[in-house]
Structure 1
């Protein structure tokens, strides 16, 4: 399988690429910095460009079977600017499957009906910019024809795989506190070809 990757030099993205590569897949990753990409993800074919430019997205997904995105926010609107373009290019090229990394903030609140977690007392964060960016991406995908899955980890420290990952659709499992970057990447990889995860937000934690 050939996988297009956005956000591949990030913590989850680089872990996902290594895992997929060692499972025999071909990876085509959009990168901004060729030198950084060569250091962090030498396993991937590098497409140098910008995730907010349609032609660069088109070059990245060309010939691919599925798309994986771990684009973050980093106090910018890159995520919300790029997702409509990724959606449009995928739909035009007939690529249906997208797995992306979100945040637990865009899951439903377990205790305050009608609210997302970031809008409720379940969230300890005082700043909501990142969650709002991820929410825009979710709403974009929700209105698309794609078979999408948004993996929504809670606190995400660096770390090796520990296993024992719990998940729940639309909600964060009870008492979930954290999950490592490597276990998040593993979970995303394992649901790539799973129809039961199509069009779902998935809260994950230990």
Structure 2
């Protein structure tokens, strides 16, 4: 399977790539700084480019089977600038499946079910800019014709996968406090062969 990966230079993206390559998948990663990629594998293709440039995104997704986005907010608007380009490129190539990583802030609030966690008293964060970017990206996917899944981890410390976590559609599992980078990557990777959360957000935590 040919997987296009955006965000491979990040903590979670690099681990997703490792899992995919370990299983013999082809991975194409669009990165601005190829020198940041230490991994070497015959099935890994590094494409130098920018995810906010239409031509670069189109080049990356050509002939792919599915797309995984592990992009973060990067302190700017990379998520909302890139997602329309990714959706357009996927439509042009007739690629349907995309798995992205969001944030627990864009799951539904348990205390105020009509709003998202970051918009409610459930959130302890004073700054909401990152959640707002993820929210806009989620809405773009929701309006698309793609088979999307948004995986929404809570606090994300470094750490290897233990292989199990709690999961819940549209909500963060109750009292979920954290989940490691390793288990987040593993959960995202497992969605490749699952249709359980197509056109859904899914909250994950220990």
Please name the residue that 2:36 is paired with.
36
Alignment of 1:120-139 (within 5 A): 120-139=120-139
8 Å CA contact retained: 2:155, 2:179:
yes
Distance 1:184 1:42 in 2: 23
8 Å CA contact retained: 2:164, 2:183:
no
User: How far 1:63 moved relative to its partner?
Assistant: 1.2
TM-score (norm 1): 0.97
Please name the residue that 2:90 is paired with.
90
User: How far 1:130 moved relative to its partner?
Assistant: 0.2
Please name the residue that 2:109 is paired with.
109
Distance 1:35 1:194 in 2: 33
Please name the residue that 2:67 is paired with.
67
Q: Encode CA deviations 1:117-139: one digit per residue, 9 max, x unaligned.
A: 00111111100000000001000
Q: Unaligned regions of 5+ residues in structure 1, if any? A: none
Distance 1:42 1:114 in 2: 46
8 Å CA contact retained: 2:163, 2:186:
no
Please name the residue that 2:174 is paired with.
174
Distance 1:15 1:168 in 2: 23
SS at match of 1:192: helix
Please name the residue that 2:197 is paired with.
197
Q: Encode CA deviations 1:17-51: one digit per residue, 9 max, x unaligned.
A: 000100110000001111112x2x33421000000
User: How far 1:96 moved relative to its partner?
Assistant: 0.3
User: How far 1:113 moved relative to its partner?
Assistant: 2.2
Q: Encode CA deviations 1:96-154: one digit per residue, 9 max, x unaligned.
A: 00000000000000111211000111111100000000001000000000000000000
Distance 2:148 2:93 in 1: 16
Please name the residue that 2:81 is paired with.
81
Please name the residue that 1:164 is paired with.
164
User: How far 1:2 moved relative to its partner?
Assistant: 0.5
Distance 1:183 1:137 in 2: 23
Distance 2:174 2:164 in 1: 14
